[in-house]
Amino acid sequence: NAGVTQTPKFRILKIGQSMTLQCAQDMNHNYMYWYRQDPGMGLKLIYYSVGAGITDKGEVPNGYNVSRSTTEDFPLRLELAAPSQTSVYFCASSYSAGRESYGYTFGSGTRLTVV
């Protein structure tokens, strides 16, 4: 059972380039999330999804796009990379049981540097 898998682990982008950060979970969790962690800071929510085809913005969505075509995958797209997007990106998932949410699981992170 792999949990939440993020690829790549490291990436260097040039300003203006685009890339997709991949996130996959094999726990059949319905909720998925993307966070970013800037140096010396806590995590901030970029986007989240409550199920396939449904996504919504978090606290810091500008410069990013997401899609959720399947329950398992939740890719994060950077269209025009900027130095301000240099960060560590974490994907996470959780599931619901009744009105409660459980099993909050984070991936190991993607360290992105924009130069």
Partner 1 sequence: AQKVTQAQTEISVVEKEDVTLDCVYETRDTTYYLFWYKQPPSGELVFLIRRNSFDEQNEISGRYSWNFQKSTSSFNFTITASQVVDSAVYFCALSEAEIQGAQKLVFGQGTRLTINP
Can you give the binding site for partner 1, defined by CB under 8 A?
30-31, 33, 35, 40-45, 48-50, 58-59, 88, 90, 94, 96, 99, 101, 104-106, 108-109, 111
Between 9 and 80, whose beta carbon lies closer to partner 1?
Answer: 9
| Smallest separation (angstroms) from partner 1 to the CB of 41 | 6
| Smallest separation (angstroms) from partner 1 to the CB of 25 | 14
Annotate 11-66 with DSSP letters as a single string: EEE-TT--EEEEEEESS--SEEEEEEE-TTS-EEEEEEEEETTEEEE-S--TTEEE
Provide Rg for the chain, Cα atoms. Answer: 14
| Smallest separation (angstroms) from partner 1 to the CB of 114 | 19
> Where does residue 58 fall: left (phi above 0), alpha (psi -120 to 50 degrees), or beta otherwise?
beta
Between 17 and 22, whose beta carbon lies closer to partner 1?
Answer: 22
